[in-house]
Chains A and B, each alone.
Chain A
Amino acid sequence: MIPAGFEYHRPADLASAIGLLQDHGDEARVVAGGHSLIPMMKLRMTDLGHLVDLQDIGELRGIAIGAGHVTIGAMTSQHDLIADDRLAAVLPIIREASLQIADPQVRYMGTIGGNVANGDPGNDMPGLMQCLNASYDLAGPDGTRQVAARGFYQAAYFTAREDDEILTRIVIPVPAAGTGHAYVKQKRKIGDYATAAAAVLVGTTSASVAMTNLSDTPVWSEAAGKALAAGDTEGCVAAILAAIDPQEDMRGPVEFKRHVAAVVLRRAIDSALARRT
């Protein structure tokens, strides 16, 4: 319950925040909503000397809907994602998934940037962002670079982000009109990370499929998407089952997780196909 001591910083702009990360190296961490980091600090599983609070950096907030892309500031909360009707009109899968994340209080604070940058395979947004083929803007001392969500996750808590970089924005291509979507999550109770969850997009000539918490990273499978685009649901399921590597834990043994993965994926495919127009 009691975190170790640290120094608190609340920079007003991105350059200052990056400067603090440069000054303090791996002693420093940014805090966004704080709803993964603070729990880890309370259990003394994370040790840091400097906490850099991003809440005053206005450019990290907001949802911009463009013709071909939606850009979401990293500090945009799950609550704000759910509440935004314009976002729900172009990317309804984000509201559907966000409502399955955590609980109301956590959603007021937890941010999309923290969710995708955290690196915990239990988080739901990473698989969804891979399904959507989103990319992340990473701002560092030498400027900003863009990394595809599909290339961002290396292992549990290891991502392509460098220690002195801040994930600032998420850029998501808007799916073609009529694309069916679904985010289906099996969990033990409200607020639990998934036993298995599936993000599915299916259009007339293309499809994309990713799954959550069935490996030490989210799993996006090109083969699964191709199979589904060709109308081959069982081929899609087989491709995902070949790509995942679940571990036994309190949510069940490996065999059960593989079973649940297939069930959840079939449900997501059925739902996405039913919504395709």
Chain B
Amino acid sequence: MSKMHITLTVNGTAVEGLAEPRTLLIHFLRETLRITGPHIGCETSHCGACTIDMNGKSVKSCTVFVGQAQGAEITTVEGLVNADGSLGVIQENFREHHGLQCGFCTPGMITRAHRFLQENPAPTEAEVRFGMAGNLCRCTGYQNIVKAILASAAQLNAAKEAAE
């Protein structure tokens, strides 16, 4: 199979590389582009550890071929830091509320939470749990992840109000 020339915008930067059509987006990100925050936790599209933001959607990058992502705007956990390199609001709240232990699900969790809070800026606890249901965690029991996301929502909303 001849390789395809793939161009993407990842975390605001135009990137390119060559890949066989069968290359999964997660492998292209990790192995070609060396963006190793998104992880691989399964081969059946359940765990969500590979979650990235693609064209404004939370996507499991293990279930997308590179060709399907051609030209896409992608955000990974690496792109969710503040401009000065400090932790973004959701990242900081995962730390503050102990929303991670081994850290393997965390990049997918945070990237999913980023999109979820844009769609539902003031969620209930039940909405957080349902909105995060495509992401599995083996360590935390989810409770502190929920707390981190609710705290992030409150903080983001307060910041938005202060700005208005």
Contacts and interface: CB of A to CB of B under 8 A. Distances in A.
Interface of A: 1-8, 10, 31, 34-35, 38-39, 41-43, 51, 53, 55, 79, 102-106, 108-109, 190-191
A1 B68 contact: no
A34 B68 contact: yes
Given A39-B63, A53-B67, A79-B57, A7 B112 contact: no
B121 to A, nearest CB: 15
B48 A6 contact: no
Interface residues of B, number: 31
A109 B61 CA distance: 11
Contacts of B1: 5-7
A184 B68 CA distance: 34
Given A1-B40, A109-B59, 19 more contacts: A1-B43, A5-B1, A6-B1, A6-B22, A7-B1, A34-B63, A39-B43, A39-B44, A39-B45, A39-B63, A102-B134, A104-B133, A104-B134, A106-B60, A108-B57, A108-B58, A109-B57, A109-B60, A191-B46
A105 B57 CA distance: 8
Nearest to B64: A34
Contact of A104 (B44, B63, B112): B112
A10 B131 CA distance: 31
A29 B48 CA distance: 26
A39 B40 CA distance: 14
B131 A104 contact: yes
A190 B133 contact: yes
Interface string B124-141: 000000111110000000
Lowest 4 A-B CB distances belong to which pairs? A103-B134, A8-B21, A108-B57, A8-B67
B21 A5 contact: yes
A5 B131 contact: no
B48 A105 contact: yes
Nearest to A31: B68
A10 B67 contact: yes
